[in-house]
Chains A and B, each alone.
Chain A
Amino acid sequence: MPMYQVKPVSEAHIQIELPTCMYKVPNIHAHRGDSCASEHALQNGEVDPAVKALGARQDEIMRKLYELKATVDGLAKTVTTPDADLDLTVSSSLSSQSFSSATSQSITDLNTVLGKDLGALRDIVINANPARPPLSLLVLHSLLCQRYRVLSTVHVHSSVPSVPPQLLSCLGPRHAESYARHTFQLGFTLIWKDPKLQMKFSIQNMCPIEGEANVARFLFKLLTPYPSDPVLATLVDSWVDMAFFQLAEGSAKEHSAVLRSLNSALGRSPWLAGSEFSLADIACYCCMLQSSSSSAAPANVQRWVKSCDNLGHFSPVKLLMQ
């Protein structure tokens, strides 16, 4: 042809990221000859659905394998040491072993606390009073988000006339894939509702858990197993109770007493329950934030508050309190 040639304006194969939430329309350029409406083919650049399905299947198989492994581990434990529950050292070493590899075992973790997976989203429902936002639970929520795929939703109950906007966004922005609930490991549903704080999970097999302290204990178990050392566990427990009963709700006298004991405990170790950050730290920090007493705190407590701040877990609730 007596025409000059132009270089192609773009390369032949452009990869286009297409959303996966829509159904596919066949390529409109594929068969020119047919009538307009009947032209359909795959849109170019789309990730092959077969590959995706294969990936999903593999994930599913891996998940099942891990579940199986956990069950077998459990069985092995009872078979090899029939009186495992009596032998504290054995069981504690076993549990620490089985919980060491965090991410891959996360599902089994959930299973041990929440019960068998029924193939649907396991939704934890928390009713909270908008006048007293449960700060510790919000911290635990952000920790859970780091560990699991958590679907977080905030609702306002019809018995509450209005809720400040920062409480509606306190669980962070809406997840991009929130339309597919089944793809999440854990649901965290926060309902602003008077009067008391309550957590519901399985209404058939479990009583509602009442009180922020108890809900916090439950949620923390989803993150790490409770210390197997009974002394340590009791210590954490007593700090949590002290935080919620005396620091958050107690009189000024009780308040300063707690601050003193906090100070002496933090003089001995970096965190409240020894060398590791624990629920005790979360509870005490949040209750201090709520009673806004951190400025008048003694030196060790001040230092501890600073190291808590440095962890970054508490920045969302600090924003909320402003």
Chain B
Amino acid sequence: MHGYSFFFLPLGMCKGVEGFEVIRFMCVCEAERTLVHVQDLTPEKADQLIWLRARVHTSRAKGKQCFLVLRQQQFNVQALVAVGDRASKQMVKFAANITKESIVDVEALVRKVEQKIESCSQQDVELHIERILVISQAEPRLPLQLDDAVRPDGEGEEEGRATVNQDTRLDNRVIDLRTTTSQAIFRLQSGVCQLFRDTLTKKGFVEIQTPKIISAASEGGANVFTVSYFKTSAYLAQSPQLYKQMCICADFDKVFCVGPVFRAEDSNTHRHLTEFVGLDIEMAFNYHYHEVIDSITDTMVQIFKGLRENFQTEIETVNKQFPSEPFKFLEPTLRLEYTEALAMLREAGVEMGDEDDLSTPNEKLLGRLVKEKYDTDFYVLDKYPLAVRPFYTMPDPNNPKYSNSYDMFMRGEEILSGAQRVHDPHLLTERAIHHQIDLEKIKAYIDSFRFGAPPHGGGGIGLERVCMLYLGLHNVRQTSMFPRDPKRLTP
């Protein structure tokens, strides 16, 4: 085609680069050109001439040669431009001046290397570039360096190297998401969703979609966002619970939904977001609400097993930056009763009343105690005191102090709260009055049970929390792509 190597800015945006002649590149052979993926660059491809599109991760000129690291998602490969019969001195200079994070097309020869390249994911080969084309140029000043963004916390301080703080990351989320760690986290998150859907579909659940703009607070009175709705106002759904329950009353038997959930809680903690993705389950059961617990815990165990089998590289990648112990679980899941938990806590010196709710530090402590005894990071706590649960929770038929409700914990933090729901309108009214809830406001809710409702139960999980705790991360913002909290509404 061309006598020697050229560099192009196609798409009609020609401009002179360092006084070089630039040719408008609209070659006919482009369409036939197959692009190779970086992850497929293995020793089998040695001595082949290939085309590749990737980002420039780094470029470093050294006399007559220039080393580039080309990156595609979490994979990268070393590439080399050296002065010789296929490349000129000017080409080396051009390659050295391509800004980091620019997207380039290269034609290169794959070469096996003697010594493994430790810094790249493709350790056994390197590329000898013959042609290089810039497809899209990045601005020279990056708001954060990718290498800094993947550096483990402690390491940076010791060596005097920079690490990137959370707000800088979140302000420049597009770049932060390019890091290997972020790539791994969100691939894993997609895996959680996928496994959740697959497992439940296999169990005969039906996926439903519920409205997010609602007329009244669905759950008790916790904080809801108000939005203007033509001449009146409406609320953002805090949980799809009412609609899940209505689907049960409409004979869908077992349903789940995946969708955003909004909480107007002004809490700035490591685990609260104002908008998050809820994975919600609701099912009718036959004889005992433990059928619901068994379904949910088995779903979780299947998710954990699926992650363990299919996402091992992602887990290891995240662990490189944020080291944590591997997530441990039991199959079938361990189920403890609230009284047992109290006994364990009391033995450890915690003073608590029989009907008190677990405080966050006590939850953590209990998590450690359970881990010590049973060596599991995931367990269910069953039979909570009735007094600490919402009005729609079914009381325990054998002991009025307790209820048919449960929480699930991962690494000592609550991820799911659920219960058998009261499906009898009279009992529900009674419970609502007991909780001093305005009956007018929840009339629609109570009315939905008047025409025959099967006994049912369910619960909801926060996707971000599950990912955070599975990976042993310390902030839920790391597992939320564009997190929303009381102080952040952008990007």
**Partner-B contacts on A (CB < 8 A):** 19-25, 37-38, 40, 118-121, 123, 125, 127, 153, 155-159, 179-182, 189, 191, 193, 200, 202-205
Contact = CB atoms under 8 A, between A and B. Distances in A.
A118 B331 contact: no
A156 B339 contact: no
Nearest to B308: A158
A22 B397 contact: yes
B285 to A, nearest CB: 10
Given A127-B375, A159-B328, A203-B373, A181 B337 contact: yes
30 contacts: A20-B398, A21-B397, A22-B287, A22-B288, A22-B397, A23-B394, A23-B395, A38-B426, A120-B339, A120-B340, A125-B373, A153-B332, A155-B332, A155-B374, A156-B330, A156-B331, A157-B376, A158-B328, A158-B330, A158-B376, A179-B290, A181-B335, A181-B340, A182-B337, A182-B340, A189-B334, A191-B374, A200-B373, A202-B347, A203-B373
Interface string B387-431: 000000011011000000000000000000000000011100000
Mostly, the A contact residues are loop
B113 interface: no
B8 interface: no
Contacts of B328: 157-159
Nearest to B424: A25
A20 B397 CA distance: 8
B174 interface: no
Contact of B426 (A40, A158, A203): A40
Interface residues of B, number: 43
- 10 A-B pairs with least C-beta separation: A120-B343, A155-B330, A118-B343, A120-B340, A23-B397, A120-B339, A37-B450, A203-B372, A204-B347, A158-B329
Given A23-B397, A118-B347, A158 B304 contact: yes
A19 B332 CA distance: 25
Nearest to B451: A37
A170 B176 CA distance: 51
Interface string B310-347: 00000000000000001111111011110110111011
Contacts of B383: 182
Nearest to B304: A158
Contacts of B329: 157-158
Q: Which of A20, A123, A155, A158 has the most CB of B within 10 A?
A: A158
Contact of B334 (A155, A159, A204): A155
Nearest to B397: A23
A234 B343 CA distance: 36
Contact of B287 (A21, A119, A125, A191): A21
Interface of B: 287-288, 290, 304-305, 308, 326-332, 334-337, 339-340, 342-344, 346-348, 369, 372-376, 382-383, 394-395, 397-398, 424-426, 450-451, 455
Contacts of B337: 120-121, 181-182
B339 A22 contact: no
A24 B455 CA distance: 11
Contacts of B326: 158
A127 B376 CA distance: 12
Scoring B326, B327, B330, B335 by chain A CB atoms within 10 A of each residue's CB, the highest score goes to B330
A118 B346 contact: yes
A287 to B, nearest CB: 27
B64 to A, nearest CB: 53
A277 B339 CA distance: 38
A25 B372 CA distance: 42
A123 B477 CA distance: 38
Contacts of B450: 37
Contacts of B287: 19, 21-22
B455 A205 contact: no
A125 B346 contact: no
Nearest to A35: B450
A189 B374 contact: yes
A191 to B, nearest CB: 6
Given A23-B394, A24-B397, A158-B329, A119 B339 contact: yes
Contact of A120 (B330, B342, B395): B342
Given A157-B375, A158-B304, A119 B398 contact: no
B159 to A, nearest CB: 35
A199 to B, nearest CB: 11
Contacts of B455: 22
Contact of B331 (A24, A155, A189, A200): A155
Nearest to B453: A37
A20 B398 CA distance: 8
Contacts of A191: 330, 374-375
Given A156-B331, A158-B329, A180-B398, 19 more contacts: A37-B451, A120-B337, A120-B340, A123-B373, A125-B374, A156-B330, A157-B329, A157-B375, A158-B304, A158-B308, A158-B330, A181-B335, A182-B339, A193-B375, A200-B372, A203-B369, A203-B372, A203-B373, A204-B347
Contact of B288 (A25, A127, A179, A202): A179
A8 to B, nearest CB: 30
Contacts of A121: 337, 339-340
Contacts of A37: 425, 450-451
A158 B374 contact: no
A182 B401 CA distance: 14
A205 B344 CA distance: 11
B324 to A, nearest CB: 15
A205 B343 CA distance: 13
A165 B337 CA distance: 27
Contacts of A157: 328-330, 375-376
A119 B425 CA distance: 34
Contacts of A200: 372-373
Contacts of A159: 328
A193 B372 CA distance: 14
A25 B375 CA distance: 41
Contacts of B344: 120
A134 B290 CA distance: 30
**Considering residues B332, B342, B382, which has the most beta carbons from chain A within 10 angstroms of its beta carbon?**
B332
Contacts of A20: 397-398
Contacts of B395: 23
B330 A21 contact: no
A200 B375 CA distance: 11
Most buried by B among A159, A182, A189: A182
Nearest to B285: A22
Contacts of A203: 369, 372-373
